[in-house]
Amino acid sequence: MKLARLRGLSRHPDREDFLRSRRRQPRRRAHSKGRGDGNMEKLEKLRELLDEQHIDGLLITNGYNRRYLTGFTGTAGAVLVSRQGAVLVTDFRYVEQASRQAQGFEVVQHSGRSSKKLPIR
């Protein structure tokens, strides 16, 4: 306590100042034209890269990469991109949200037990 007083610090900070400093500041988002803008451009660029590298398809499971490519902000899902198609697979909780956010992607509901083939060539 002596050290704190010597440095000019009070033992107990003023409650209002303390609470004011602890309040969360609103997060600032980068300016965007709207949800889903740029998805098609990113998808086309990815398809060009797949074609250049002679790769048939790409499975994306990382949440950050999924969100970057599709605009889908849900926490569950995977994206399968081929040169001809793009599918976002998610569970029942996010089907409606994915349909709104992931423009240019076919949204497929995954039940966890289905042996149904994905609609991609």
Is it the case that residue 118 has pLDDT exceeding 80? no
Please name which of 121, 40, 49, 32 lies closest in space to residue 85, comparing C-alpha atoms: 121
DSSP assigned state of 34: S
49 vs 111, more confident: 49
3-class SS string, 86-111: EEEEECHHHHHHHHHHCCCCEEEECC
pTM, two decimal places: 0.63
Query: What's the pLDDT at 83?
Result: 87
* Domains of the chain and any CATH numbers: 39-109 (3.40.350.10)
CB 74 within 8 A of CB 88: no
Residue 117 pLDDT more than 60? yes
pLDDT cut 90: percent of the chain above it: 55
In a 3-state reduction of DSSP, which class is residue 47?
helix
At 34 the pLDDT is 45
